[in-house]
C-alpha cells in the first residue's frame, strides 16, 4: 500500500524535524532529541570501517536486560558491537555499558536517517529485541542482505500488522532470517502473517535473571537498615504504585514491624523529592546512608534508593517484592529479577500485555492488586502467613530456573552464521 507507506514516511520526517521543538515541553523528549543529535557524532567517531559490525537494537532498559546474555558472548576481537536504544530510560542508564563498543540512540525511522545510519554502521549482523519493528530500517537490512534476527520476540493479535493501517508493514518482516519467540501464541500469530521461519525459544530474561543469584549481592547498608526484620522491596515504582500502598505504608511506619525499600523507576532529584513529600512520615535515602556510612538510630520504616544499580541486590533481601509500572499505564517492569530470588511477587492491575505475569499468577507465585484495600489484604496475608510466603516464593524461584535456556538456542543459531561471532 504505497499511500500508507508515504503517510508513514511523511510522519517520520515530521517527527524528525519536530522532535527538538517537542523537547522544550517534555524533559524525556528533550533527552531523546539531544541524544539523537549526538548519535551521528558518536557513530562517525567510534564506528570502525575496518572491522565487521554487529548491530543490536533495543527499545529500553528491559529489552537491554533481555539481550545481555547474548551480548556477553560476542567476540569483540573479531566484531565491533553497535548498541542502539529508542528510549531515554534505556540509553541514559546504559550508555556506559562495557558490553558494546558503540552506544547511542537510534535515529528516527525516516528514510534519510536510515540511509545515513546504514552507511555509517554497515552491519554484518543485526539483532532486534522483543518487538522493535521499524519498517524503513528493516527494509534497508533486507535490501543489503544483512542477516537479521528477532530475539525474545512477541506477536499479538492486536498489533498493527493485523490492522488495515499497518498491514503494509508486514512485508518488512521479511528482513528477519529467524524469529526466536517467547511463546506459542506468538508463533501462531506470526504464522497467521505468513511466516514459518520461527521457533519458540523462550525469554532470554530468564537466563539473565538466573545469573543474578550467582553474584555477590551483599550490601552492608541494606542489612543495617533492615535489622533482621521482614522486608518489602518495591521495585521500579511510579506515583500510581505508591498511591495504592500509601495508607499501608503509613500504618506500617507506626509500628515499623516491616522494613520497606523503595527503588523508584526514575531517580532524578525532582522525582525523589516528589516521592518523599508524598509520604507523611520521615524516610531516609540511599545517598544519606552513604554520607554517614552507617545507619545509626534511624527511626523510619522506609529507605528510598535514589541511585541506579541497586535494585536487584535489594531484591535479594526481600521477603516480598512489589514490582511497579502496571498500576498505571507505564508498563509492568521486570518481575523475573524479583522472582529469581524466591520471593512472592505483587503487581498492579494492568498486565495483560505481559504473558509472564499471567503465567506466574496461574502458578500461584504472583498476586495482582487493584486498590489500597487489596494491597493491604495481600501484604497482611504474605507477611503473617510464613507457609504461604515460603510456598509462593518457592514457586517463583522454580519458575525462573525451569525456563532458562533461550540464550543457548540463539547462540547455536549465531554459530551457523559465523563461528567467529562468539567467544569460545
- pLDDT tens sequence across 145-181: 999 999 999 999 888 887 878 888 999 999 999 999 9
Residue 242 CA to residue 375 CA, distance in Å, equals 11
Question: By the 8 A CB rule, do 290 and 221 touch?
Answer: yes
- Cα distance between residue 357 and residue 335, in whole Å: 7
Per the DSSP assignment, residues forming a β-bridge with 367 are 346
> Over the stretch 273-316, which tens digit does the pLDDT of each residue have?
999 999 999 899 998 776 555 554 467 899 999 988 899 999 99
Rounded to whole angstroms, what are the CA distances from 243 to 158, 264, 268, 273, 325? 30, 13, 19, 15, 12
CB count within 10 Å of CB 373 equals 12
CA 239 to chain centre: 19
Catalytic option among 63, 132, 337, 356:
63
Beta strands 259-264 and 284-285, pairing class: unpaired
392 three-class SS:
helix
Question: Whole-model pTM?
Answer: 0.85
Can you tell me the distance from the alpha carbon of 353 to that of 156, in angstroms, rounded to the nearest whole number? 9
Q: Which residue has the cell 537491554?
A: 64
Domains of the chain: 1-202+405-421 (3.40.50.11720), 213-402 (3.40.50.2000)
In order along its 424 residues, the chain shows pLDDT tens digits of 578 777 877 777 777 666 665 545 566 666 766 778 899 999 999 999 999 999 999 999 889 999 999 999 999 999 999 999 998 888 988 999 999 999 999 999 999 999 999 999 999 999 999 988 999 999 999 999 999 999 999 999 888 887 878 888 999 999 999 999 999 999 999 999 999 999 999 999 999 999 999 899 999 889 989 999 999 999 999 999 999 999 999 999 999 999 999 999 988 889 999 999 999 998 999 987 765 555 544 678 999 999 888 999 999 999 999 999 999 998 999 999 999 999 999 999 999 989 899 999 999 999 999 999 999 999 999 999 999 999 999 999 999 999 999 999 999 999 999 989 999 6
**CB-based contacts of 314, cutoff 8 Å, min separation 6:** 219, 222, 233, 235, 261, 263, 305
Q: Is 63 a catalytic residue?
A: yes
Amino acid at each position: 500500500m504505497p499511500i500508507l507507506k508515504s503517510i508513514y514516511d511523511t510522519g517520520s520526517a515530521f517527527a524528525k524535524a519536530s522532535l527538538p521543538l517537542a523537547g522544550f515541553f517534555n524533559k524525556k523528549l528533550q533527552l531523546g532529541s539531544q541524544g539523537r543529535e549526538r548519535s551521528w557524532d558518536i557513530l562517525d567517531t567510534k564506528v570502525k570501517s575496518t572491522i565487521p559490525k554487529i548491530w543490536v537494537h533495543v527499545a529500553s532498559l528491559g529489552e537491554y536486560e533481555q539481550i545481555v546474555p547474548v551480548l556477553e558472548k560476542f567476540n569483540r576481537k573479531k566484531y565491533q558491537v553497535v548498541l542502539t536504544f529508542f528510549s531515554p530510560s534505556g540509553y541514559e542508564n546504559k550508555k556506559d555499558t562495557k558490553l558494546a563498543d558503540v552506544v547511542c540512540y537510534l535515529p528516527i525511522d525516516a528514510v534519510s536517517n536510515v540511509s545515513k545510519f546504514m552507511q555509517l554502521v554497515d552491519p554484518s549482523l543485526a539483532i532486534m529485541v522483543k518487538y522493535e519493528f521499524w519498517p524503513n530500517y528493516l527494509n534497508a537490512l533486507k535490501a543489503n542482505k544483512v542477516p537479521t534476527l528477532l530475539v525474545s520476540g512477541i506477536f499479538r493479535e492486536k498489533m498493527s500488522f493485523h490492522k488495515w493501517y499497518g498491514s503494509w508493514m508486514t512485508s518488512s518482516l521479511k528482513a528477519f532470517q529467524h524469529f526466536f519467540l517467547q511463546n506459542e501464541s506468538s508463533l501462531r500469530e506470526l504464522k497467521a502473517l505468513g511466516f514459518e521461519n520461527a521457533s519458540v525459544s523462550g525469554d532470554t530474561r530468564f537466563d539473565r535473571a538466573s545469573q543474578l543469584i550467582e553474584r555477590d549481592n551483599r550490601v552492608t547498608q541494606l542489612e543495617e537498615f533492615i535489622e533482621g526484620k521482614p522486608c518489602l522491596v518495591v521495585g521500579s515504582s511510579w506515583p500510581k504504585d505508591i498511591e495504592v500502598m500509601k495508607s499501608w505504608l503509613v500504618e506500617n511506619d507506626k509500628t515499623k514491624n516491616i522494613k520497606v525499600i523503595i527503588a523508584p523507576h526514575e531517580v532524578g532529584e525532582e522525582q525523589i523529592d516528589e516521592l518523599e513529600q508524598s509520604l507523611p512520615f520521615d524516610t531516609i535515602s540511599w545517598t544519606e546512608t552513604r554520607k554517614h556510612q552507617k545507619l545509626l538510630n534511624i527511626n523510619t520504616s522506609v529507605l528510598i534508593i535514589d541511585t541506579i544499580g541497586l535494585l536487584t541486590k535489594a531484591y535479594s533481601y526481600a521477603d516480598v517484592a512489589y514490582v511497579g509500572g502496571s498500576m498505571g499505564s507505564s508498563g509492568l517492569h521486570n518481575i523475573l529479577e524479583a522472582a529469581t530470588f524466591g520471593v512472592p511477587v505483587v503487581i498492579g492491575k494492568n498486565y495483560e500485555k505481559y504473558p509472564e505475569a499471567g503465567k506466574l499468577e496461574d502458578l500461584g507465585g504472583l498476586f495482582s492488586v487493584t486498590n489500597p484495600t487489596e494491597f493491604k489484604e495481600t501484604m497482611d496475608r504474605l507477611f503473617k502467613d510464613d507457609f504461604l510466603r515460603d510456598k509462593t516464593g518457592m514457586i517463583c524461584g522454580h519458575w525462573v530456573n525451569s525456563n532458562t535456556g533461550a540464550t543457548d538456542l540463539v547462540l547455536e543459531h549465531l554459530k551457523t552464521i559465523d563461528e567467529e561471532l562468539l567467544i569460545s
